[in-house]
Structure 1
């Protein structure tokens, strides 16, 4: 029980603060390294420039494809959420958690779209800007990249938490559904047989009554 409570607290911390803490650390750290490099304190390449121009920019086509895939996944999940049934797993989760999941997906969609949109103008802006404005340009590219992947991870974890119980009991649920279906078929079959027997009894009684009426009309 204590272990479960600890995991729940860790997940709540991750859910509320983790993404923003990572981005804040990157923002502060990048600026510190930039100004140290700017005033020739220490040595080495500006870490923001290295990440943006050496790591992200050369892989722009791959990352744009990934962002497009994310957008497609989020759109599909939104479509599924719009057609859920009351008996489905998503239909049984608490209202608060359901709208929290919606918020996660919406934010992830916006970050993926923002990264996709930002990369359109990044190459041109990178040629026009210098000094600290270019540092901010590179920094925002890194931040959008981080938010895009961290938001995707948050959505994945949220969906895992929602479906965790069902996934662990998947085979049991399938067997239970099969038994329920078999039981319903047996009930319908018995009901059908019962109704057929009733109809046969009615037909026999009707035939007997008709015979009695015919005998009375034509006595020997």
Structure 2
């Protein structure tokens, strides 16, 4: 009788331990940011510690997935004189992505030139300029309601977007950020030189 009682106790402890392990694993899965591995999170610079929604399907995306890359952040609009810069930005992304560059586009109506829905913006970018670089949902890029990423970029550079297609280049380790005005095109010599300079440097995840 004592042996049976002991066996029941051992079985109960085993089931409890198994359930606890399963619950822990479930919680870990639910709280892990989309697109970010554990190692990426550990090396992720503060400026990229944000989650944003992808333009095409509004699924959450952890910017930490771009840790260790040179990141170009740009606020965009569909009805702006600088809108053709989409083509140059896509060309840059395609040319340098294998070396560690990623362009991130953030549509914004802050300057009253992006009234369309996220779906229409996505179609416009793909069908008009063949945009393949990551794009995110329409957002605010300056002022009190700015996306936290843009607040942090403003904090670290001392400047906010003055117009559409304002650009920030973030180094691989996230420690160096340089801003460029809307007038600076994607093929501008100084802009490209800064990208190549940062690509040549080692940083997080390298």
TM-score, scaled relative to structure 2: 0.22
TM-score, scaled relative to structure 1: 0.21
The structure whose residues are more often strand, as a share, is: 2
Higher Rg: 1
